[in-house]
Structure 1
Amino acid sequence: MRFQQSCRMAVWLVIAPLLLGGCSILREFGPVVEVHTLDAGEAIELKRGDILTRGKLSDATTQTIRVAALDAQACAKPISADCVEALAAVTGVAADRRLAALSELWLAQAQAMKPGSEQQAAWLETIRYAYAYLFFGDHTPGERAFEDRQTQVRDWYNYAVERAATGMFEVRQQMSTQLSAQTRWNIAGWELQLDMRSARLPGSTAVPAELLPASSLSFRGLRSLYRRDGFGAELVAVMPDEPLTSAPTRDGHPAAKRNQQPLPWSEMPAPSMTILLHPDGDDLDSVLHTRTVRLTVHDPYVESAIMLRGQRVPLAANFTAGYGLWLARANFNRQSLRSLLGREGGIDRPHVYLMQPYDPNRRIIVMLHGLASSPEAWVELANEILGDEALRQHYQIWQVYYPTNMPIALNHAMIRRALGDTLAHFDPSGQAPASSDLVLVGHSMGGVIARLMVSSTDQSLVQLAADRSRLTPQQIKRIDPMLRFEPFPHVSRAIFIAAPHRGTSVAGGRLGRWMAGFIRFPVTVLEELAHTLAPNAAASSHESLGHIPNSVDNLDENDPFVRAAADFPISAQVNYHSIVAQANAEEALVDSDDGLVPYRSSHLPGAQSEKVIISGHSVQQSAVAILEIQRILKEDMTQREEQLTPR
């Protein structure tokens, strides 16, 4: 027995090292494959986590490295040029897997580098391999439409383009003016070709003052951020912009003549754009060896997709970032108060802001804010229209920013002129679709002005001016065009929001009179009025103008101007709508108000629709009002398309 036991032990001593050395089962004393249950978050993170979202390589890239017989730990280091070179030289691994992994590895390298030419080269290598994967890999983008891996690679491409483009812009800003105007230049050992044929920047300056990634901007004060998923980097080009203030003076006296005034319009100085970088080459091998890249700039309002390598590719876009950045930097809140009080730093005449580069084929929505307000009044409405694809394709927004201390009649006349001059500039022939079927949207006092724009008057305002002023018949004749008018051409629809068409008792009450007492007109305005009334008089003749009613005076329900204007007939060619705010839902509608404007003043007989919303006076910002305006615009859009469709 002892002998047998000894023999067995000897046999085991001989074969055990062989078994333990060649069999993992005996070595581990467990199964080769083990299974673990993941919760939903862990499963999605495993599929979608990558160098951008979690700071380490994606699971798919790590698997590719292992399949290629490379050291996964070494490749995971921030900078591993040997790993990149080795993986690029590997054969036997599917092109899609290899190209995607190389794009992420270069991205990891770029993130670990300091800004400079080496980092720029790494961004361009990231772009090269992502571009090669998307358009020259084993499958087309359409075939991979539902793959998480394609979404990852697209995100790497977009991010690398964003970083490369902003880095190139910073380098270009440091160049001389002559060099920065070129369309070909070298950077990081690559030749860059600049192509801006698909985009137009506002103003006369060809180069932005700043180029900001939209992804780096976060906004407070906006309910929604509207963007479109797709290909390319979403950027905001911040253009040089002169602050809009009172007219310049000369020798201490305001420049009253019109030809000395700045343009009455400008395009929003922070347009959104989409940028692509295209490595040169018509096949995989040429793309992987090129040192030439083409940068193209696209207007997301004009182009929603492009044809690229035989594929229809949707363009990424951000429709909120530029608008939000403009509002955040414009300081409208302080300036509008200065304008109301007639203080230095305010404005003394209306200005038309185009929210996007002029498009002759999109209809124009003209927005008019209310008392002591500015384009900030439309922050939510404009953002929702810009973010709605159907509305964005059919409309463009023009916002009128005007000094709200002026008499309503004067503001109305100047706004008409500013809009007319703007339309004449962009469409001299008046034949473009944008110049017809305008839509006016006015809140509060802006609603009163919008109503005047679609109305016609008779002798009543002229007679009123003659009765209430010390003006001579000759002077009355000079201001006759301001007091006698017809509906503004080509307006087909108007939306009045909490508009005091018949005034309000608040303006004539103690608070209104107290507020009106602080209002002053800028000297520029007084000089221009004096020049209009007496062209040959001395510059100081404005002192003899006497009392001129301001905007708060005009909004008093007992003011003769607002009482006369309330009865002016609205053009039969204009469909109009009312949005009325009611502060107290328990109160009878006919006796209610919004805290400032009574229902009897905001109600208009003959309106196509009247929407009553439980809200205070700033109802234009409410989600319910915005939905109602969107409904009206889409209904209007549908009706117009039906009229244009041949039967």
Structure 2
Amino acid sequence: MSRSLRCFPSVLLVLVLAGCAGVKVTAVSNNDYLAQRRGDVLTTGNLSASAVAALQVVGSDEKRCLADLPACREALDSTTGLRDEQRLSTLAELWLKEAQDGGKVMAAEARTDAYLESARYAYAYLFLTTRTPSQRALEDRQTQVRDYYNFSVQQALVEVFDRYRGRPPSPEDTQGNFRLKTGRWTIGGRMTDVRLADDRLLPKELIPAASLSFGGLRNQYRRDGLGAELVAVTARRVVSKGSDEIPWSETPFPAITAVARFPGETLEQVLSTYQVEVIGYDPYRQDSVDMAGVQAPLAANFTSGYGLWLARSGFARQSLLTLVGRGEVLERPHVYLLQPFDPDRRIVVMLHGLASSPEAWINVANEVLGDEELRRNYQIWQVYYPTNLPLAVNNQAIREAIEQTLANFDPQGTAKASHDMVLVGHSMGGVLSRLMLSSSGDQLWDAMLGSYGMQGARLEKARAKLGPYLYFEPLPQVSRAVFAAAPHRGTPFAENRVSRWAAGLVKMPVSMLNRFKEVAQVLVDPNAAAPVALVRPLNSIDNLSNQDPFVKAAADLPISPRVHYHSIIGNYTPDLEVLLSSDGVVPYASSHLAGADSELVVPSWHSVQETPQAIIEIRRVLHEHLTGLASPKVATVRAP
């Protein structure tokens, strides 16, 4: 054999070995790229690429590490080959992985301990390493670790709450402060500017906002930042039999954002402590928080509490039952505050229409809460009222409910919230809003009672009975209003066969029927040869007819010259010119108001308030209101 042939196997072996050691390149899809860059224990259930890389530095891998987590964490703690950021972020992820994988197998206190350890290491990474959060602002890893912190704080608090549900964590708890022991940890807690409904300090439930998803809401609004986004549930029911006793309720589902601080000024001090301080904030009042000398944005969820309130309200069913006098009948208006009262935010009062409820404003209210500037400057009150009652009765009762609510929260009437309020009313709610901004003079009295020819004691008795309903002045706290699909001059729709049939189903509370019986006895002169009877039945559907005497008289009442008002009108008859058009229920001619600052006609059925165009218009008006209040040179009084 020649020398060249004898050398061939050796050359071939060298080539094969060289080929095995080469680097190969494969294409990665966009989805795989993102999964590799951003996948972690929260999104995929597996360790992140950053954590796997850190494990390789200490001679381990994901499988071996997860098989013996204590030893793996000890190796990470003791190695000198990792920067603090790599070490702390990986330890935060490993503790979170342990808590998640433990599930129901792990003892409750041990699982809570693991979540607190994860939060502690995440806190150390975020605030106690050489680089500040702002220097890492564009890094994926910082976003991941922030999420570990938020999720771990959330889970630890919910688990501790479940263990202490229904009983105070410490006997000396009087101001929402508490101190308790769980596993190796001692947790101290306090609330900052968080007031629960009816001053109840212990919620019945503590629900992570991230666990809630809502059908019927177009958007869910939140603010990115630090902290566990929670909903504190203080009442099982939104509407209860006792709702009529006090005409207002603060939300039973307030939003809370909780952060956890670990005592110590150095990294070593924080990592050696088993003390943690949990602070709950009202995210409507606070948008940032000081953490270890760093000002961090406070996370918030502005939709979850509102969505939960609507989902648990039962409004839709009760509003229909109330109309026909069945079920737990609503007898008088109730004001619902969608967040704890804030004296520094202007109030937007929303009034729904016939056979409806606050659910009429599902997306309107949510979109206002989702607008950063509007959220900072407004608070929303929704009035739930019995739509089976006549307009005159509801006008007087809603006025009283609003004024009593203001008197409760701002007795001196000096807060910003008590001035320059905005009324937003749909359909019947728009008619009621207009009445609350009008001066009656003698117009209603003359129109309603002029034909009865009352004199002397009988006249005085009638004034005492009917005066509160027929004599009124504008609410002084309101300076702007939006009327959506409001039948200011009534509607012929109330006279058709179906409406007349529906009017026959309307039932009023016994107390109201007795009151009307007393009124009828005053009006009808028993000595007259031909006593004058009541002209029409007294219920809400009849009241909305364009033939109703009250509506006819009220249509021409003057609106306060200090009030700016706007109209939103639906057009469901596109083939007709605007002046002859209708939203299917209310004619344009009835919704149109001369002197309005603006009028928007939207291609829509009667429920125009929920259309995107109407929501944008309402938001525009609210912004305009703020601009006018902030600009002293802008006229704030409309010419009469």
Q: TM-score, normalised by structure 1?
A: 0.90
Q: Which residue identity is paired with 2:476?
A: P
Q: Which residue of 2 aligns with 1:509?
A: 496
How far does the alpha carbon of each residue in 1:554-585 deviate from its partner, in whole angstroms, 9 at most, with x for none?
11101100000000001100011100100021
> What amino acid does structure 2 have at the position aligned with 1:148?
D
- In structure 2, do the counterparts of structure 1 residues 129 and 463 end up closer, same or farther at CA, with 3 Å as the change threshold? same
Are the structure 2 counterparts of residues 442 and 469 from structure 1 closer, same or farther at C-alpha, using a change threshold of 3 Å?
farther
Shift of 1:162: 1.1
Letter of the 1:173 counterpart? R
Answer whether contact 1:336 1:372 (CA < 8 A) is retained: yes
Q: Which amino acid aligns with 1:95?
A: D
Question: Offset at 1:205?
Answer: 1.3
Distance 1:6 1:558 in 2: 115
| Equivalent position of 1:429 in the other structure | 412
Match of 1:252 in 2: none
2:125 to 113, 133, 147: 133
TM-superposition CA deviations, 1:97-141 (whole Å, max 9, x none): 000001001111000113501100100110010000000123110
Counterpart in 2 of 1:192?
187
Matches within 5 A, 1:414-453: 414-453=397-436
Structure 2 counterpart of 1:629, one-letter code: I
Q: Quote the Cα distance in structure 1 between the aligned partners of 2:507 and 2:470.
A: 22
Any idea what SS the aligned residue of 2:230 has? strand
Equivalent position to 2:53, from 48, 52, 63: 63
1:206 is aligned, of 188, 201, 222, to 201
Seen in structure 2, the aligned counterparts of structure 1 residues 65 and 528 have a Cα distance that, compared at 3 Å, is: farther
Q: 2:320 aligns with which of 337, 343, 355?
A: 337
1:101 aligned onto 2:93: no
Correspondences of 1:87-486 after superposition (within 5 Å): 87-115=76-104, 116-173=108-165, 175=167, 179=171, 181=173, 183-241=178-236, 244=239, 262-467=245-450, 472-478=458-464, 479-486=466-473
Residue 399 of structure 1 deviates from its aligned partner by 0.5
* Alpha-carbon distance change, 530 to 207 in structure 1, aligned in 2, over 3 angstroms: farther
SS at match of 1:143: helix
Instruction: Report the identity percentage.
Output: 46
Tell me if the contact between 1:439 and 1:492 (Cα under 8 Å) persists in the aligned partners: yes
CA distance in 2 between partners of 1:409 and 1:230 (Å): 49
For 1:608-631, what per-residue CA distance to the aligned partner results, in whole angstroms no more than 9, with x for missing partners? 010000000000000010001111
Output the CA distance in 2 between the equivalents of 1:436 and 1:95: 54
CA gap 1:247/1:166 in 2 versus in 1, 3 angstroms: closer
Q: Judging changes above 3 Å, is the alpha-carbon distance between structure 1 residues 470 and 509 closer, same or farther for their aligned structure 2 residues?
A: farther
Long gaps (5+) in structure 1: 249-260, 536-543
Do residues 489 (structure 1) and 476 (structure 2) align?
yes
Q: RMSD value over aligned CA atoms?
A: 2.7
Change (3 A) 1:428 1:91: same
Cα deviation, residue 90, structure 1: 1.5
Q: Which residue of 1 aligns with 2:528?
A: none
Give the Cα separation in 1 of the matches to 2:103 and 2:564. 60
Q: Deviations over 1:332-362 (max 9, x none)?
A: 0000001111223120100000111111111
**Compared with structure 1, are the counterparts of its residues 306 and 469 closer, same or farther at alpha carbon in structure 2 (3 Å cutoff)?**
farther
Is the CA contact (8 Å cut-off) linking 1:246 and 1:344 kept in structure 2? no
Match of 1:567 among 550, 556, 560: 556
**Hey, what's the Cα distance between the residues in 2 that align with 1:428 and 1:356?**
19
Cα distance between partner residues in 1 of 2:61 and 2:413: 69
User: 2: CA distance between counterparts of 1:134 and 1:237?
Assistant: 27
Matches of 2:86 and 2:24, distance apart in 1? 25
Distance 1:473 1:578 in 2: 39
Deviation, structure 1 residue 311:
1.6
CA distance in 1, matches of 2:344, 2:414: 10
Q: Residues 587 and 282 from structure 1, CA distance in 2 versus in 1: closer, same or farther, beyond 3 angstroms?
A: same
Supply the distance in 1 between the matched residues of 2:115 and 2:451 (Cα, whole angstroms).
Answer: 71
Map Cα deviations across residues 582-608 of structure 1 (whole Å, 9 max, x no partner): 002121111110110001100000100
CA drift at 1:278 = 1.4
Q: Deviations over 1:182-216 (max 9, x none)?
A: 61110122110011123221223111111111111
Match of 1:580 in 2: 569
Which of the residues 580, 597, 618 maps onto 1:591? 580
Distance (Å, rounded) in 2 between the aligned partners of 1:570 and 1:530? 32
Q: Is the 8 A contact 1:245 1:347 kept in 2?
A: no
Aligned to 1:256: none
Alpha-carbon separation, structure 1, partners of 2:238 and 2:283: 26
CA displacement at 1:58 relative to structure 2: 0.3
In structure 1, distance between residues paired with 2:167 and 2:400: 42
Q: Tell me how far 1:26 sits from its aligned partner.
A: 6.0
- The answer on whether the counterparts of 1:438 and 1:492 sit within 8 Å (CA) in structure 2 is yes
Does 1:640 find its partner at 2:629? yes
Is the contact made by 1:246 and 1:524 (CA closer than 8 Å) also made in structure 2?
no
Q: Residues 405-433 of structure 1: CA distance to partner in whole angstroms, max 9, x if unpaired? A: 00100000000000000011111111111
Counterpart of 2:425 in 1: which secondary structure? strand
CA shift for structure 1 position 509 = 2.1
Letter in 1 for 2:165: Q
C-alpha deviation, 1:375, in angstroms: 0.3
**Cα deviation 1:481-535 (Å, max 9, x = unaligned):** 2210111112110100000000000112222211110111112333566789999
Contact kept, 8 Å, 2:47 with 2:62, in 1: the verdict is no
Give the whole-Å Cα distance in 1 for the aligned partners of 2:609 and 2:5.
97
- TM-score norm. by structure 2 comes to 0.91
CA-CA distance at 1:44 after TM superposition: 1.5
* 2:539 match: 550
Once the two structures are TM-superposed, the CA of residue 27 in structure 1 deviates from its matched residue by 4.0
Equivalent residues of 2:57, 2:81 under 8 A apart:
no
Unpaired runs of at least 5, structure 2: 523-532, 635-640
Cα offsets for 1:269-299 (capped at 9, x unmatched): 1111111111222110011111000111011
Distance 1:173 1:142, change over 3 A: same
Aligned partner of 1:42: which letter? D
Residue type of the partner of 1:591? L
Output the amino acid matched with 2:459.
P
Cα gap change, 1:425 to 1:644, in 2 (>3 Å):
farther
User: Aligned AA for 1:198?
Assistant: D
Deviations along 1:125-174, one digit per CA (max 9) or x if unpaired, are 10010000000123110100000000000011111111111001101116
CA distance, structure 2, for counterparts of residue 236 and residue 623 of structure 1: 28
Aligned residues: 614
Distance in 2 (CA, whole Å) between partners of 1:496 and 1:167 is 47
Paired amino acid for 1:153? V
Q: Is the 8 A contact 1:205 1:240 kept in 2?
A: no
Match for residue 500 of structure 1 among 477, 487, 500: 487
The letter of the residue matching 1:608 is: D
